[in-house]
Amino acid sequence: MKKIIAFGASSSKNSINKQLATYTANQFQNVAIEILDLNDYEMPIFSVDKQAENGIHPLAHDFYVKIGSADLIIISFASTYSTTPSPSALIKTRESEATCLSRPVPTIGACGSNNGTA
């Protein structure tokens, strides 16, 4: 069975981006779905010095393993509230991993205002 990992790229407890990623993932049928919460992966900001001293943070490794286990990854990014054009979400498959920057990427967005997403 194919596996979908979805999460909102926000640490807000009431993240509309997590809600959007969850909704989007649940539109697929006959797949295993796992919704991640970035709050479960809080860690220090990356630095080469910290990595040299302490190695890779265990939560970073856990997140990497989770992402690597997915056939489809759905990420909903925080909206810019229409002030700057930018994609608000990314849907990425293992198959598109090597070429995702060289072709169009479907996007979805969530916004807390009436303006919509940019």
Q: Is the pLDDT of residue 15 over 70?
A: yes
Closest to 111 in 3D by CA, of 6, 20, 25, 26: 20
Please state, in angstroms and rounded to a whole number, the distance separating the CA atoms of residues 37 and 15: 10
Which residue would you say has higher pLDDT here, 68 or 58? 58
Q: Is the pLDDT of residue 22 over 90?
A: yes
pLDDT given for residue 69 in this prediction: 87
**pTM here?**
0.70
pLDDT given for residue 88 in this prediction: 44
Helix or strand run (H / E) with residue 32: strand 32-35
Structure tokens at 66: 């989770």
Cβ pair 74, 87 in contact under 8 A: no
